[in-house]
Amino acid sequence: MPIARILFTMPLPEPFDYTVPEGMDLVPGAYVAAPVGPYDRLGMVVDVLPDQPGSNRKLKAVTSVYDVPPMSAPMREFLNWTTRYTVSHPGTILSMALRARDALLPSPVELRYRLAGPPEGRITEARARVLEQAAVLGPVSASELAAAAGSSSSVVKGLVAMGALEEIEEATDPPFPPPDPDRPGAVLTPEQASAAEELREGLLKGGYAAYLLDGVTGSGKTEVYFEAIADVLRADPEAQILVLLPEIALTQAILARFEARFGAAPAPWHSGLNPKERRRTMREVLHGRARIVIGARSALFLPFRKLKLIIVDEEHDGSYKQEDGVTYHARDLAVMRAKLEDGAVILASATPALETVVNAEAGRYIRLRLAARPGTARLPEIELIDLKRAPPEKGKWLSPRLALALGETLAAGEQSLLFLNRRGYAPLVICKACGEKLKSPGTESWLTEHRYSGRLVCHLTGYSIAKPAVCPHCGAADSLMGVGPGVERIAEEVRTLLPNARIEIFSSDTAQSGEATRGLIERMAASEIDVMIGTQIVAKGHNFPNLTLVGVVDADSGLKGGDLRAGERTYQLLSQVAGRAGRAERPGKAYVQTYTPDNPAMQALAANDRDGYLSIEREVRNELGLPPFGRLAALILSAPSADLVDRAALELSAQAPNSEGIELYGPAPAPITVLRGRHRRRFLVKSLRTVDLSAYMAAWTARYKLPAQVRLSVDIDPYSFL
């Protein structure tokens, strides 16, 4: 009997062998169930080997095979590559591709009811109401129909018996309506049209290609990639397209744009889906029927049959980096996936990452530029406010110039946006009596005061308590004081300044659901809000036509800490925020409050000189051998006690292989030294670009047997240094 090597969706380092029962046709990529211990588990065939006569290995047999298309060869290669790159177990990566297992089964069916023939028998008032609703609603479930008619399911069943209604079976998870590429899109400006044309030529040629769609905020990057999507849909009736977006809160507006352009909404994939929605999307992707998928970074692991185009919108966005569990950067993986699929990838941004720009300049990506906003919309003028020279009044956070501009904007009937990347009222709570700073238990992190909810919250772990009446340290009453500003405190200041303004806060606290987010965005777009105060959630992609003033409350906050990308990220974030102003006919203005107006990121912002800034960044990183000119990997050890983790760190350090082109730093206490009761130590490994750093990390960690209770995680190309 032939032997199948099966990889299970479990954190195992290798596949297991099984015999293939007579009559079962297995190919690599097939999804199967096979016994592991007492249970059948989901797995995928990685290889089928011919019969090995004479072998006396006792193997169990594969139980069953799922009746779905096998995983494609490029997708399997992608999973292998990701396994190696992220230094993970292959089974762990496979389970990322099979998040909704019931997608492997056919859609369940439901009974639905619709009008049939003329009723045989007396039509009571309740029956008449049901028939009336059945005519309006079309096929629906008995309970929906009964509810709409204000009667009971038994009336519905009665009408079936009378021949007036009929029962039909319909799939619970229907296919997504197909997109129509031939509906008219926007009439492109000459600049947009030439970018779309260059893309079209490349896409129709086929094969792997990577593009950087580099266009200022609001220049129509979305319109241009819509054309690319239409081209791919038209050229190949089986081609599938994946659009990655950084913030799922935004998808609502973009979904409507997709629907307007293609006549059908794309298949969604993100953490907000319920299990039924997930299995529907995954099933349709797996069978190759979902043509356009729009999703968060994890959508990159969906088992597409024929993925021909990937779009990474706002490619510079930090949320593409997955920080928990298997750490990966979705942009980098998207490029690799496109390469393996022999397809195209488009990275779109107004502020592309240095990595991406360097790739474009080296000719690895084809660069398409959009330098202008369409129509009369102009980029906002950005002015720095030096807080040392023009400080706010004591106890306030807005400088006189910004406060004045807020008043003028309100008087002109226009909208303002204040940006501060701190949720809550105050980022630190201190006891006036004893000086204690309140911390999260078992974690080195301050608690943030939230006044609206009356709670103190740890933004790192989610821990929260009602604000205590007395200091938990010294017992003094009424002694706890919030220090520093959060968005709630800025809202309070604006309320005093402009008592008649309609003010709202936009942060993950006020926009917890898709509905709340949509509501806020719609009220802002409809000019029902005068001043919006928001965290980084406001920086992304929104179009508010009447928004003309943007104020950045604390431009320096992102520059603190030892993050190698701090300057770059600050530039990106602030220029995206400023880019919200002046999107329609009215010109926009942005004020940026800073204590470091001479910082190159601030200077470049004011001069709208992105490329100048990037060239400074590039020089510094090149000099220091930092990404993208060298490679980095982080390794974090954690344990319940400092002793244990220190011992493990020393032992691990002694095991580090000597290797050319590798520099090892650490172990050092991580900036977040204690997290959820675990003590943390960090290593940072720097290598030349030419070194396979993943292989080095794999070899190093394989040498060391972790003591009980010690955990180790590897982060290749880290973005967070906490």
Under the criterion CB under 6 A, does residue 189 sit at the interface with ligand ADP?
Answer: yes
Task: 124-133: list long-range contacts, CB under 8 Å, 24+ apart.
Answer: 126/151, 126/155, 127/155, 127/158, 127/159, 127/164, 130/155, 130/156, 130/159, 130/165, 131/159, 131/164, 131/165
Least Å distance between CB 189 and ligand ADP? Answer: 5
Least Å distance between CB 226 and ligand ADP? Answer: 8
> How many residues bind to ligand ADP according to rule CB under 6 A?
15
CA distance 508 to 630: 35
Under the criterion CB under 6 A, does residue 92 sit at the interface with ligand ADP?
Answer: no
Task: State whether residue 541 is helix, strand or coil.
Answer: coil
Query: For residue 250, which of 579, 509, 514, 527 has the smallest C-alpha distance?
Result: 514
Under the criterion CB under 6 A, does residue 217 sit at the interface with ligand ADP?
Answer: yes
Task: 689-692: list long-range contacts, CB under 8 Å, 24+ apart.
Answer: 689/628, 689/629, 689/630, 689/631, 690/661, 691/631, 691/659, 691/660, 691/661, 691/662
Under the criterion CB under 6 A, does residue 162 sit at the interface with ligand ADP?
Answer: no
- Phi, psi of 508, deg, nearest 5: -65, -15
Map the footprint of ligand ADP across residues 539-578, applying CB under 6 A. Answer: 543
Please give the structure tokens belonging to residue 719: 């973005």
Least Å distance between CB 574 and ligand ADP? Answer: 16
The region of 101-109, 182-190, 355-363, 649-657 touching ligand ADP under the rule CB under 6 A is: 182-190
Under the criterion CB under 6 A, does residue 251 sit at the interface with ligand ADP?
Answer: no
Q: Which of 107, 219, 415, 599 touches ligand ADP (CB under 6 A)?
A: 219
Under the criterion CB under 6 A, does residue 141 sit at the interface with ligand ADP?
Answer: no
Under the criterion CB under 6 A, does residue 638 sit at the interface with ligand ADP?
Answer: no
Q: Which of 6, 7, 188, 334 touches ligand ADP (CB under 6 A)?
A: 188
Under the criterion CB under 6 A, does residue 252 sit at the interface with ligand ADP?
Answer: no
- Whose Cβ is closer to ligand ADP: residue 448's or residue 546's? 546
Helix, strand, coil percentages, rounded to 5, for the chain: 35, 25, 40
- Whose Cβ is closer to ligand ADP: residue 349's or residue 440's? 349
Q: Which of 186, 255, 372, 559 touches ligand ADP (CB under 6 A)?
A: 186
Q: Which of 107, 133, 222, 599 touches ligand ADP (CB under 6 A)?
A: 222
Cβ atoms 246, 401 nearer than 8 A: no
User: What does the per-residue mask of binding to ligand ADP show for 361-380, with x meaning CB under 6 A?
Assistant: -------------x------
The residue type found at 448 is T
First CA to last CA across the chain, in angstroms? 53
Q: In sequence order, what DSSP letters do the residues of 587-611 get, joined into one string?
A: --EEEEEES-TTSHHHHHHHHT-HH
Map the footprint of ligand ADP across residues 197-216, applying CB under 6 A. Answer: 215
Q: Which of 179, 202, 220, 630 touches ligand ADP (CB under 6 A)?
A: 220
Least Å distance between CB 297 and ligand ADP? Answer: 19
Under the criterion CB under 6 A, does residue 192 sit at the interface with ligand ADP?
Answer: yes
Residue listed under structure tokens 């000119």: 629
The region of 122-130, 187-195, 293-301, 646-654 touching ligand ADP under the rule CB under 6 A is: 187-195
Q: In sequence order, what DSSP letters do the residues of 258-301 get, joined into one string?
A: HHHHHSSPPEEESTTS-HHHHHHHHHHHHTT---EEEE-GGGGG
- Whose Cβ is closer to ligand ADP: residue 165's or residue 348's? 348
CA distance 441 to 716: 30
Cβ atoms 344, 241 nearer than 8 A: no
Under the criterion CB under 6 A, does residue 223 sit at the interface with ligand ADP?
Answer: yes
The region of 95-103, 183-191, 425-433, 490-498 touching ligand ADP under the rule CB under 6 A is: 183-191
Under the criterion CB under 6 A, does residue 218 sit at the interface with ligand ADP?
Answer: yes
CA distance 423 to 457: 10
Instruction: Point out which residues bind ligand ADP (CB under 6 A).
Output: 186-189, 192, 215, 217-223, 374, 543
